[in-house]
Structure 1
Amino acid sequence: MRIHTYAILLLLLSIFPLKLLAQNNAQSSVVDQINLGVKYLSEKEYIKSIEELIEAKEIALRNEWYAQAFNATINIGTNYFLMLDYGEAFRYYLKAYEIAIKHLGKSQEMAVVNNIGILYVEEKDLPKAKESFFKAYEIAKDLDDNEIIGTYGINLALVLNKMGELDQAEKYIEEALPILKIRSNVLLLAKIAKAENLFLREQYVQAERLALDILPQINNLSLINEGATVNDKITLLLLISKIYEKQKQFKKAQKYVLMARAAQLNIEERIESYGSLADLYGETNEFHKAMAYKDSVLLATDSLYAIKNMALFKSEKVKFQIQNYQNELLESKKLLKQEKQFFYTLIFSVILIMGFLLWIYKNNSLKHKQRKRIVELELAKEKSDHLLIEEKHREKVAMELLEKERLKNELDIKNRELTAKAMYLASRNELIEEVVQSLSINTQITTNTPLKNQVNDLKKHLKKDTQWDSFFVHFEELNQGFLDRLRSQHPKLTPNDIRFLTFLYMNLSNKEIASLLNITPESCRKRKERISKKMNVPEGLPLHAYLSAI
């Protein structure tokens, strides 16, 4: 039973052309040539395909177009694979692998490793096939592509089934089944691998149930390549036949082998079917049919050897033609090299002549440049004098600005001192207010008239503080004209309003202003809103910003 049906499908899928964005006309031509080679490959015209692909590969490598070079090289290997020349296929796959490692990425490396695994399967070297498929699987894991992980996991499981490592195979099958739901064909192949695993574990009833459940699904599957469906169906039919053979149900086993043989188109697959039929007819004592199928095995084997020999002859013929082509290409390169040397000599001569003419031109124009330089120096002197005058004017303006800045800084320093004094007064008043409140709630003081009178004096002191008069005089000296402008623009403001606005202009907080005026912060906030409405301050504009603009 072939264990790599889907692995072969993957290799065939890799021959379809990449959709490459051509960087220029030459690159686009190479892409078209690769597509033509792939078309010949799909039509089994291997010689034409290889000729086109090798020429495209050489051009791509020469121009360092590595994606195109990789695509051409891996398809050359596929040509040789389909011509049964596995050695030559392996050689080109290794070249493609080298390009992928040096210049491309993990996706290309993974595709080549998978194809190499298929070659090992064809050569019956299952340990090497396992190693290659496992490497492709690990790269798919790194790329975190669930579809590819599941697909390569099934390839690996099929090889492990064949090698008898059933527990490992089951692990990869169970991992792949949940992530292959959108790929109907691969999911069915995973189920076939599962049925084969059950069969190899001698769990014939479960294997039979699963295999018979899969068969109608394969018959109804029309969304994938028909060849892949047929291959999967043949694999499943042969598996069902072996299950019935192990259960001694030889007639049923014969039925499914005959169904498989009817669907098989190539001789290699029929050899296995003929061998199974010979054994089954021997079990039912139908020796004449058994002998007939034994003869069919021999005839099919001879035919297969003849086909392989013819394929190898064609392969050698292709190699000879390619060698001739490479020799012609080498001669063409030599001729091109000679043409390039002539071209470089011609360019060098032209450069020498142009250099001599340029020297004459420069010599003649040097005197003109000197005269022009004298005129430029005279103009530069006049410009320099003009710039000197402008520089003196800018220095004068700068000095005026510096003086203004100095005065502004002095004003800022005095304002900061005034603000500090206001903060001190606010802090002192707040402390006095706290003392008054503390004394007011003391029952001993409320009953002591002299002490009560002193507390009332403190309260009056909070309302009348002579130091405030000097504070506002100092404020008016520092901010000359502010209060006059404020009264002129808003004549309806009361002295208390102006006093409140003075504190706000100094950027004091509500709490600080409340402490200075001996009121609550809430009263301070309400007074601020009332004064804003009285002054018709635009809605959304802070009162402090409005005052700063006056």
Structure 2
Amino acid sequence: MRLNAYATLLLLTYLLPLQVFAQQETQSNNVARIDLGVKFLSEKEHTKSIDELIAAKEIAIRNEWYTQAFNATLNIGTNYYLLLDYGEAFKYYLQAYEIAIEHLGERQQMAVYNNIGVLYIEEKEPVKSEESFLKAYEIAKRLDNKKQIGTYGINLALVLNKMGKLDLAEQYIEEAFPLLKETPNVLLLANIAKAENLLLRGKYSQAETLALEILPRINNLHLSNEQITVNDKITILLILTEIYENQNQLETAKQYALRARSVPENIEGRIKIYDRLAIIYGKINDFKKAMAYKDSVIIATDTLHTIKNSALFKSEKLKFQIQNYQHEISESKKTLQQEKQFFYTLIIGLIILMGFLVWIYKNNSLKHKQRKRIVELELAKEKSDHLLMEEQHREKEALVLLEKERLKNELELKNRELTSRAMYLASKNELIEEVIQSLSQNTQIPTNSSLKSQINDLKKHLKKDTQWDSFFMHFEELNQGFLDRLRAEHPQLTPNDVRFLTFIYMNLSYKEIASLLNITPQSCRKRKERISKKMNVPENHTLHSYLSTI
């Protein structure tokens, strides 16, 4: 399938209209001159177009209007391409490429790569063509130009169809469809590429349906408005020819081939048409016509070679390859320099980062040591405080013990004083008893009423001695609450029992108690046993120990 048709389409859509805002009248006039040259190009008045564009190019270069110089140069190359002078076309494409590299940018480089890819197709160099189209496609990807991504993707698909890389071609076609909804002419070319892909896959029914759908749309297109050339129509007619030929519908295939022959003359198109007719007539055994078309193929091929400036094309192609190689080296150096700068920046950044990390580590380590030291000091302080509190507690306990001991000693002392007083009372009572007994033995007492009265007074004093009340009052002061607690727990005790227990609590001996109570020690022991039973004192406790718990 021919691609030169789409070369015209892409060049015109790329350059119309020119996006230049003139700052001076001469620049505006030059833009108008380029527009006129493009108009002549679309009308196939190549001589007029080249004249206008060359003049515009010279003015633009002289005034350093590089965008205009690029557009003029690229369109001059397109004129020569349509005139089949591929050598001259390549020369001007190379000049446009140099302008784009030195003064413009990737957008312009992208257009040159695409047009050179078309030239490689015409020179039957599909590998070089794929490389050029792929570069244009990659730049479009970087620029995120969806329309150009779709356009260059279709160009790649057409080349890949020729190279037999049908799966990869299909991927580019499917990617392009949603990107070309606003460009019906390029979308039509995408459908042609898909029909060809289906044909090469042997899916004749699907290819036929799509090709028949495309054909009337090409017939209805206006060449200058839609920028579809005769080669697009020849291409779809030849696709239908091959579909019917492969299905052995030779008569139908011949009719479509003859329709392609009736399309306005195009020498490269005629070569393919004559070749296809020669094959078909050979299959239907019309060898005379088959040979005639074979001769026509040879004649047309010789004519095409005569028209083409092959030597110049090869020379300019070599120049372009050298220029492109130099540009790639330059870009590689820039990339290498950028990589070095990035590498140095990365190293410096890493050094700074490492320094920062080391600083953070040391800072955290110092903080950790400080926190650890603070914790240790706090623990030591807490331990010291704890030891101090323990010491204070021990001191308090010692003071309490001392106080208890002092109070105990004072109590014992006072109780001893009470005991002494009790013993004094006991001895006094004994003395009174002895006096009474001594006086009672006197024979004069019964007759002496005065002595008898005095003896009775002594006996009354022995029974009603108020000093015992004073004794118990002092005991209560020293042993506060003891007697109340005793009476509360053992209400069955008599006053005599309480008095006896008081002496037991004071830890007096039986003899001392007997003396105080004016009874015998044996009676004192018996009374103790009786009171213990009365109070239900446990057998494993003495009466004194039991009283100490009250």
> What TM-score range do you get, normalising by the shorter chain?
0.5 to 0.7
| Residue 15 of structure 2 corresponds to residue 10 of structure 1 | no
Q: Tell me how far apart the structure 2 counterparts of residues 3 and 81 of structure 1 sit (CA, whole Å).
A: 12
Q: Tell me the residue number matched to 1:158.
A: 158
Q: Tell me how far apart the structure 2 counterparts of residues 72 and 213 of structure 1 sit (CA, whole Å).
A: 37
Q: Tell me the residue number matched to 1:472.
A: none
Q: Tell me the residue number matched to 1:191.
A: 191
Unaligned runs of 5+ in 2: 313-550
Q: Is the radius of gyration larger for structure 1 or structure 2?
A: 2
| Residue 143 of structure 2 corresponds to residue 143 of structure 1 | yes
Contact kept, 8 Å, 2:8 with 2:78, in 1: the verdict is no
Unaligned runs of 5+ in 1: 313-550
Kindly state the Cα deviation for residue 237 of structure 1 after the two structures are TM-superposed.
1.1
Q: Tell me the residue number matched to 2:352.
A: none
Kindly state the Cα deviation for residue 134 of structure 1 after the two structures are TM-superposed.
0.9
Q: Tell me how far apart the structure 1 counterparts of residues 76 and 217 of structure 2 sit (CA, whole Å).
A: 35
Q: Tell me how far apart the structure 1 counterparts of residues 49 and 188 of structure 2 sit (CA, whole Å).
A: 33
Give CA deviations for 1:318-353 in whole Å, capped at 9, x if unaligned: xxxxxxxxxxxxxxxxxxxxxxxxxxxxxxxxxxxx
Q: Tell me the residue number matched to 2:388.
A: none
Give CA deviations for 1:292-312 in whole Å, capped at 9, x if unaligned: 322332343344345447999
Task: Spell out the pairing of 1:133-532 with structure 2 (5 A cutoff).
Answer: 133-221=133-221, 225=225, 228=228, 230-308=230-308
- Structure 1, 243-252 or 78-87: larger mean CA deviation: 78-87
SS in 2 for 1:263: coil
Q: Tell me how far apart the structure 2 counterparts of residues 3 and 79 of structure 1 sit (CA, whole Å).
A: 16
Contact kept, 8 Å, 1:234 with 1:264, in 2: the verdict is no
Q: Tell me how far apart the structure 2 counterparts of residues 89 and 222 of structure 1 sit (CA, whole Å).
A: 26
Kindly state the Cα deviation for residue 170 of structure 1 after the two structures are TM-superposed.
0.5
Q: RMSD of aligned C-alpha atoms?
A: 2.8
Contact kept, 8 Å, 1:83 with 1:311, in 2: the verdict is no
Q: Tell me how far apart the structure 1 counterparts of residues 35 and 218 of structure 2 sit (CA, whole Å).
A: 32
Kindly state the Cα deviation for residue 14 of structure 1 after the two structures are TM-superposed.
4.7
Q: Tell me how far apart the structure 2 counterparts of residues 309 and 248 of structure 1 sit (CA, whole Å).
A: 40
Q: Tell me the residue number matched to 1:95.
A: 95
Distance 1:42-1:311 versus aligned 2 partners, 3 A rule: farther
Kindly state the Cα deviation for residue 40 of structure 1 after the two structures are TM-superposed.
4.6
Kindly state the Cα deviation for residue 138 of structure 1 after the two structures are TM-superposed.
1.3
Distance 1:98-1:162 versus aligned 2 partners, 3 A rule: same
Greater relative CO (CA pairs within 8 A, separation 6+): 2
Contact kept, 8 Å, 2:86 with 2:309, in 1: the verdict is no
Q: Tell me how far apart the structure 2 counterparts of residues 223 and 91 of structure 1 sit (CA, whole Å).
A: 27
Distance 1:226-1:304 versus aligned 2 partners, 3 A rule: farther
Distance 1:4-1:42 versus aligned 2 partners, 3 A rule: closer
Q: Tell me the residue number matched to 1:128.
A: 128
Aligned-residue sequence identity (percent) comes to: 67
- Structure 1, 81-90 or 36-45: larger mean CA deviation: 36-45
Distance 1:278-1:209 versus aligned 2 partners, 3 A rule: same
SS in 1 for 2:285: coil
- Structure 1, 47-56 or 120-129: larger mean CA deviation: 47-56
Contact kept, 8 Å, 1:130 with 1:159, in 2: the verdict is yes
Q: Tell me how far apart the structure 1 counterparts of residues 104 and 194 of structure 2 sit (CA, whole Å).
A: 35
Q: Tell me how far apart the structure 1 counterparts of residues 99 and 161 of structure 2 sit (CA, whole Å).
A: 33
The one-letter code matched in structure 2 to 1:102 is: E
- Structure 1, 181-190 or 8-17: larger mean CA deviation: 8-17
Give CA deviations for 1:465-505 in whole Å, capped at 9, x if unaligned: xxxxxxxxxxxxxxxxxxxxxxxxxxxxxxxxxxxxxxxxx
Q: Tell me how far apart the structure 2 counterparts of residues 18 and 265 of structure 1 sit (CA, whole Å).
A: 31
Distance 1:181-1:19 versus aligned 2 partners, 3 A rule: closer
The one-letter code matched in structure 1 to 2:69 is: A
Contact kept, 8 Å, 2:66 with 2:99, in 1: the verdict is yes
Distance 1:43-1:310 versus aligned 2 partners, 3 A rule: farther
Which 4+ residue blocks in structure 1 deviate beyond 6 angstroms? 309-312
Kindly state the Cα deviation for residue 262 of structure 1 after the two structures are TM-superposed.
1.2
Q: Tell me how far apart the structure 2 counterparts of residues 93 and 307 of structure 1 sit (CA, whole Å).
A: 19
The one-letter code matched in structure 1 to 2:208 is: E
SS in 2 for 1:23: coil
TM-score (norm 1): 0.52
Q: Tell me how far apart the structure 1 counterparts of residues 226 and 68 of structure 2 sit (CA, whole Å).
A: 29
| Residue 53 of structure 2 corresponds to residue 75 of structure 1 | no
Contact kept, 8 Å, 2:188 with 2:214, in 1: the verdict is yes
| Residue 29 of structure 2 corresponds to residue 29 of structure 1 | yes
Q: Tell me how far apart the structure 2 counterparts of residues 202 and 25 of structure 1 sit (CA, whole Å).
A: 59
Give CA deviations for 1:21-42 in whole Å, capped at 9, x if unaligned: 2111232233233334434544
Contact kept, 8 Å, 1:278 with 1:290, in 2: the verdict is yes
Q: Tell me how far apart the structure 1 counterparts of residues 52 and 189 of structure 2 sit (CA, whole Å).
A: 35
SS in 1 for 2:228: helix
Q: Tell me how far apart the structure 1 counterparts of residues 285 and 9 of structure 2 sit (CA, whole Å).
A: 39
The one-letter code matched in structure 2 to 1:196 is: E
Kindly state the Cα deviation for residue 172 of structure 1 after the two structures are TM-superposed.
0.1
Contact kept, 8 Å, 1:106 with 1:139, in 2: the verdict is yes
Contact kept, 8 Å, 1:74 with 1:93, in 2: the verdict is yes
Contact kept, 8 Å, 2:87 with 2:311, in 1: the verdict is no
Q: Tell me the residue number matched to 2:116.
A: 116
Q: Tell me the residue number matched to 1:66.
A: 66
Kindly state the Cα deviation for residue 212 of structure 1 after the two structures are TM-superposed.
2.4
Aligned pairs, how many? 312
Contact kept, 8 Å, 2:77 with 2:90, in 1: the verdict is yes
Kindly state the Cα deviation for residue 199 of structure 1 after the two structures are TM-superposed.
1.4
Kindly state the Cα deviation for residue 222 of structure 1 after the two structures are TM-superposed.
5.2
